[in-house]
Amino acid sequence: MLACTCDGTIVRVMHDELGVARHTSAAPRFADIVDAGSKRKAIALIEKVAGSGCVVGWQLNVPVSDGARPFHFAGARSGESLILFGAPGSPTHENDIYDELSRLNNDLINREREVARNGAALQRVSAEKSRLMAIAAHDLRNPLTIIASYADLLRFDGKLSEEQVSHIDEISRSAHFMMELVEEMLDSARFESGHVDVELKKLDLVEAARQSAKVNRLRAERKEIAVMFEQKTDQAIIRADAVKLRQIINNLVVNAIKFSPSRTAVTIRVRSEADRAVIEVEDRGIGIAPEKITTIFEPFRTLSASGTAGEKSTGLGLSIVKQLAELHNATVDVQSEEGRGSIFRVAFPLAG
């Protein structure tokens, strides 16, 4: 009993008592398990099953340990998969083959229904989670803003001792981190619900990157990190939402600063490449382990438990970058070497 794709490639051998498929290649086709004289008929059988959905009574000669023997095949289609059932012997076995095939087909249908039910239940749970997350984040935003504002004001009160200023700084850092988390939770909830509005207009990626470098220099200076801007093209006009473009660039730059050690540099680079405008954010930070590269853009994935100066990480920043980039028909990729740093790259279509 075999599972195949609709072009006849065997993807799973479910039962092979006679070792029929034992000597086939790493990616065998159904036609590979029959003898040369039956190959055309095997291809026709696959086409028939894929087209009609169910066939019985096809005889093909199959090489086994004691020579070629006639096998009687039946098949059924389930979605994009074909289930083929073959048995040696005479046509009197056709009813048994048909009964077994019917049983297997019914089992597959029941499993598909169960998967569909579970999928619908998961969607409902996910939607409720997103709704509750958005409510919680929204209710936290105002009090956190007040806490952060008062902490920032108190810091400049000349009557505070050095120890008190230190405490105020910790309150301010925690409040600002929570505000960042709240905003990213709201963004994530909007993406999951599909309620993300994009107002596209022509913008210069060079200018957006230059502004991001200027804005993030103060943050970087606290860690003695230099933020460099390299312009490889005079202009790179793209169609983008101004707020979301700024968020893409800032998330990448903040991430680079967070995971870079002191006395290093973060470089923001813009260039044109064929019909694309490319922005790169390069750092000399901790880098990314090879096994994490494929998951780094998933929600709540982080490079490390904390930044190089103990900064907390929400694990949502890079996920939001990827989702925002996709709204602009842009691609995101990363090149990294653990212990040497990373280059995050976003390529936007140039505006026509």
Name the least confident of 128-137, 201-210, 217-226, 237-246: 128-137
Residue 309 or residue 212, greater confidence: 212
**HEC sequence for the chain:** CEEEECCCEEEEECCCCCCCCCCCCCCCEHHHHCCHHHHHHHHHHHHHHHHHCEEEEEEEEEEECCEEEEEEEEEEEECCEEEEEEEECCHHHHHHHHHHHHHHHHHHHHHHHHHHHHHHHHHHHHHHHHHHHHHHHHHHHHHHHHHHHHHHHHCCCCCCCHHHHHHHHHHHHHHHHHHHHHHHHHHHHHHHHCCCCCCCEEEEHHHHHHHHHHHHHHHHHCCCCEEEEEECCCCCEEEECHHHHHHHHHHHHHHHHHCCCCCCEEEEEEEEECCEEEEEEECCCCCCCHHHHHHCCCCCCCCCCCCCCCCCCCCCHHHHHHHHHHHCCCEEEEEEECCCEEEEEEEEEECC
What is the average per-residue pLDDT within 22-43?
A: 79
Q: According to the model, what pLDDT value does residue 66 have?
A: 74
pLDDT of residue 131: 66
Confidence of residue 34 (pLDDT cuts 50, 70, 90): confident
For 259-301, what is each residue's pLDDT tens digit? 999 999 999 999 999 899 999 999 999 899 888 888 888 876 6
Q: Is the predicted pLDDT of residue 332 greater than 90, yes or no?
A: yes
Beta bridge partners of 85: 74
What's the average model confidence in pLDDT over 152-176?
80
What pLDDT score does 97 carry?
Answer: 58
What is the chain's alpha carbon radius of gyration, rounded to the nearest angstrom? 30
What tokens were used for 9?
């490639």
pLDDT grade, residue 129 (50/70/90)? low
Distance between CA atoms of residues 88 and 71, nearest Å = 4
Pick from 233, 225, 181: nearest CA to 205: 233
* Mean local confidence (pLDDT), 323-331: 93
Alpha-carbon distance of 279 to 246, in angstroms, equals 12
Q: What digits encode the pLDDT tens for the residues 171-220?
A: 887 777 777 767 777 777 677 666 677 889 999 999 999 999 998 998 89
Asked if residue 265 lies in contact with residue 289, where contact means CB atoms within 8 angstroms, the answer is no
